[in-house]
Chains A and B, each alone.
Chain A
Amino acid sequence: MRIACSFCGERELGEFTYLGDAKPVRPEAGASEDEVFDYVYLRDNVAGATSEYWYHGGGCRAWLKVTRNTLTHEISSIEPAAGAGAAKVGA
């Protein structure tokens, strides 16, 4: 598996660290226990195309939002995550 960083181009997997599913959103401070439990512990654990966060720690140190198929490891799209200098690449 190789990942084409939006800033650095295609690099080998060892340069990247995985965070996980990009879908869960951290609940507000006043959120209910159920919402926090859901965010921290439960997962869709999708078999198929899913959007996830990867960190390019061995390169530009930007966070990327990668759409990847968990059944095949095929990557269909990569974009800078919000706040990761997205404007610099016109995203």
Chain B
Amino acid sequence: MKYSIFSLARAALSGHKNWQRTWRDATPKDRYDVVIIGGGGHGLATAWFLASEYGIKNVAVLEKGWIGSGNAGRNTTIIRSNYGLPGNTGFYELSMKLWERMEQDLNYNAMVSQRGVINLYHSDAQRDAYARRGNTMRINGIDAELLDLAAVRKMIPFLNFDNARFPVQGGLLQRRGGTARHDAVVWGYAHAASELGVDIIQNCEVTGFVRDANGKVTGVETSRGKIGAGKVGMAVAGSSSRVAAMAGLRLPIESHVLQAFVSEAIKPLIPGVMTFGAGHFYVSQSDKGGLVFGGDIDGYNSYAQRGNMPVMEDVCEGGMALMPMIGRVRLLRQWGGIMDMSMDGSPIIDKTPVDGLYLNAGWCYGGFKATPGSGFVFAHLLARDESHEEAARFRLDRFRTGAMIDEKGQGAQPNLH
């Protein structure tokens, strides 16, 4: 099925009754060259890049529920590449460049909207830190603009600029950042991967690994039977520790709950994505009109996919400090997702000590923006058995060697991002 203005017109003229499934709901074969565990954005993107870039088409994606039912459908849809540390800067820009051509690559409308991401600063020290990060970005060929107060006032006139404790002084703007429709990203990768022969297998929970006499992983046990595999890749952020434990591994990861919120729909108000630099609050406006916002993780280990009141209160206080008018808008929905919180706030894309098992994990709460880049470099690792140059620092052993990628500069704790 090829989507175009003509397919849309044909479907419209027949009352939209003849749309076909956009991807095949496959039943498992006995064996695949590569089995990906996890049918979220990262797993499906990995499968698509394996098939399209690396010529490996005998691939299965196993999903315990339905595709996109985990964090791929629970995030706040922000894309950006405004990172300051070697390892992150190049990788997230690779991902941003892939976002920019994703819809053409996949023949699928993912509603990628480069409406801009602005991080507001509220003190001289924060301005200097943002200036430094912006310079790092520009040196690496990434767009960044440091806006002064007048420029921010012009762009977002409704902020509480004169807040006595946290006056807005300016912001670091990445115009190429923005948002994308998260479910469409999942469906788009599923569509394009399925067209190339990838089997997407839902309701198929991995319950164990099949190992040979040397300990090499040669397949997986699942709720739909045993499936043989040349290589197995894990892309199950949120549940990485649970799946890795089946192979006898302990990871430098804790699972924490992060909440997100959406308000009732209002007329267009917020021009892009903006973040409050004096607390933790970020907000954008969906095309349906709802304000989509969030803040910190709840702060305790959880697999429950729901959070508690103290963080809701904290997030809403951040919103009120930045734009008091938000208090007049009613909250429509609130939900939680489970984050793989790594010990330095950066992801892990690497081989594991278990032969045949590859790991894509530790996305903290920044996994959505990385979806295309993560799929690309993980496919590279699975196909070539070596890290892609832009992911070479995302090593599993970096916590042992001390080569951590600690964007916040706060050391070993599982609450960074």
Contacts and interface: CB of A to CB of B under 8 A. Distances in A.
Give 9 nearest A-B pairs by CB, closest first: A45-B241, A14-B310, A41-B252, A18-B300, A41-B399, A42-B250, A47-B303, A1-B308, A70-B301
Contacts of A50: 301
Contact of A44 (B250, B343, B399): B250
B271 interface: no
- Among A17, A21, A42, A52, the most chain B Cβ lie within 10 Å of the Cβ of A42
Given A12-B310, A40-B412, A41-B343, A20 B254 contact: yes
B30 to A, nearest CB: 30
A45 B301 contact: yes
B109 interface: no
A43 to B, nearest CB: 5
A69 to B, nearest CB: 9
A26 interface: no
Contact of A14 (B253, B255, B313): B313
Contacts of A41: 252, 343, 399-400, 412
Interface of B: 239, 241-242, 250-255, 299-304, 306, 308-310, 313, 343, 399-400, 412, 414
Nearest to B302: A70
Nearest to A50: B301
Interface string A22-53: 00000000000000010011111111001010
15 contacts: A12-B309, A18-B300, A43-B251, A43-B252, A43-B254, A45-B251, A45-B301, A46-B301, A47-B239, A47-B241, A47-B303, A52-B300, A68-B300, A70-B303, A73-B308
B310 A43 contact: no
Nearest to B299: A18
Contacts of A12: 309-310
B299 A70 contact: no
A89 interface: no
Nearest to A19: B300
Nearest to A37: B400
Nearest to A21: B301
A1 B307 CA distance: 9
A73 B304 contact: yes
B251 A13 contact: no
B250 A43 contact: yes
A87 interface: no
Contacts of A68: 300
A45 B309 contact: no
A17 B298 CA distance: 10
A35 B309 CA distance: 37
Given A37-B400, A41-B252, A42-B252, A70 B304 contact: yes
A70 B255 contact: yes
Contacts of B301: 18, 20-21, 45-46, 50, 52, 70
B302 to A, nearest CB: 5
B313 to A, nearest CB: 7
Contacts of B308: 1, 13, 73
A13 B400 contact: no
Nearest to B240: A45
